[in-house]
């Protein structure tokens, strides 16, 4: 990773932490590079079963580091805004969309402030647990730009289009309770990191092939035409039936014991 993003793995759960607490975990190149490196490593690690994404210190992420606007380098030049090789997303977008590429469930723990780029990164996770007093904002309009870190993909199905437009057009700050009512977060907890870690452990206790396949099914199937969605259900199910981890799930349930799953094959 980089000095601005840390990664550790415990009991099949990966913990990815934005690590610029003194800068409210504001996003710079080091953060983006670290997120991409972590996401790519976790995509390949078949022993990881869930991911918790969080911010060090008192905040999840304050958004883009304003120093990037003042950099002598062409940070936002045409090359950075082109899709990366072999991907539909560009360098900035992948900081958020890569969490959809990671085959296992990703849970974001939100506290303090979660603005702009930070909220877009959180939208890339499968689930979001926020503190009730967390402050969130689609803040890019404040700086005269559009939200351009994959939100048009990651926020699909979370908020109504008119609600998302209102947030993006005004840049207003809203709290965790409002975020829950809008659908921007999954649930609230006064200790979001602890809650996200507990949920990740629960997911990690299930067959890693089943959970990866459920993520793939719901990421893709809900946007497909009905015939293709039903076909995807059947294809994923056929790949699971009779597999080693599926057999272990059945045996453990029938034997009333804890399962001992092997590395993930799906995804």
Any idea which of 42-46, 65-69, 178-182 has the lowest mean pLDDT? 65-69
**Structure confidence by residue, pLDDT tens digits, 11-20:** 999 999 999 9
pLDDT at 75 over 70: no
Contact 65, 23 (CB under 8 A): yes
pLDDT at 119 over 90: yes
pLDDT at 79 over 80: no
Mention every residue, 6+ apart, whose C-beta is less than 8 A from residue 176.
110, 130, 131, 132, 133, 134, 136, 185, 188
Which pLDDT value is given to residue 168? 98
Cβ burial 161-173 (10 Å sphere, 16+ → b, else e): eeebeebbeebee
**Structure confidence by residue, pLDDT tens digits, 171-193:** 999 999 999 999 999 999 999 99
pLDDT at 72 over 60: no
How many percent of the chain have pLDDT more than 90?
Answer: 93
Region 138-166: mean pLDDT is: 96
Strands 106-110 and 50-55: parallel
Which pLDDT value is given to residue 67? 82
Tokens for 14, please give them: 């990966």
pLDDT at 74 over 60: no
**Structure confidence by residue, pLDDT tens digits, 205-230:** 999 999 999 999 999 999 999 999 99
User: In the Cβ-directed half-sphere of 46, how many Cα atoms lie within 13 Å?
Assistant: 9
Tokens for 113, please give them: 């402030």
Query: pTM to 2 decimals?
Result: 0.95
């Amino acid at each position: 990773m980089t000095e601005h993003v840390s990664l550790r793995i415990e009991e099949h759960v990966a913990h990815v932490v934005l690590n610029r607490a003194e800068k409210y975990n504001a996003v710079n190149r080091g953060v983006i590079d670290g997120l991409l490196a972590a996401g790519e490593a976790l995509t390949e690690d078949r022993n990881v079963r869930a991911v918790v994404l969080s911010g060090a210190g008192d905040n999840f992420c304050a958004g883009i580091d304003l120093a990037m606007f003042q950099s002598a380098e062409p940070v936002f030049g045409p090359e950075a805004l082109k899709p990366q090789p072999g991907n539909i997303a560009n360098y900035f977008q992948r900081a958020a969309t890569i969490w959809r590429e990671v085959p296992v469930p990703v849970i974001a723990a939100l506290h303090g402030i979660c603005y702009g780029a930070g909220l877009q990164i959180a939208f890339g996770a499968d689930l979001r647990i926020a503190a009730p007093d967390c402050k969130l904002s689609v803040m890019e309009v404040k700086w005269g730009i559009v939200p351009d870190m994959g939100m048009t993909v990651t926020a699909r199905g979370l908020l109504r289009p008119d609600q998302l437009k209102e947030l993006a057009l005004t840049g207003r700050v809203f709290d965790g309770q409002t975020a829950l009512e809008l659908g921007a977060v999954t649930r609230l907890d006064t200790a979001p990191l602890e809650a996200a870690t507990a949920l990740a452990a629960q997911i990690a206790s299930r067959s890693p092939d089943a959970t990866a396949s459920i993520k793939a099914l719901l990421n893709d199937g809900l946007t497909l035409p009905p015939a293709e969605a039903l076909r995807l259900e059947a294809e994923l199910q056929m790949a699971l039936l009779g597999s080693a981890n599926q057999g272990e799930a059945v045996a453990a349930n029938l034997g009333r014991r804890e399962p001992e799953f092997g590395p993930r094959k799906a995804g």
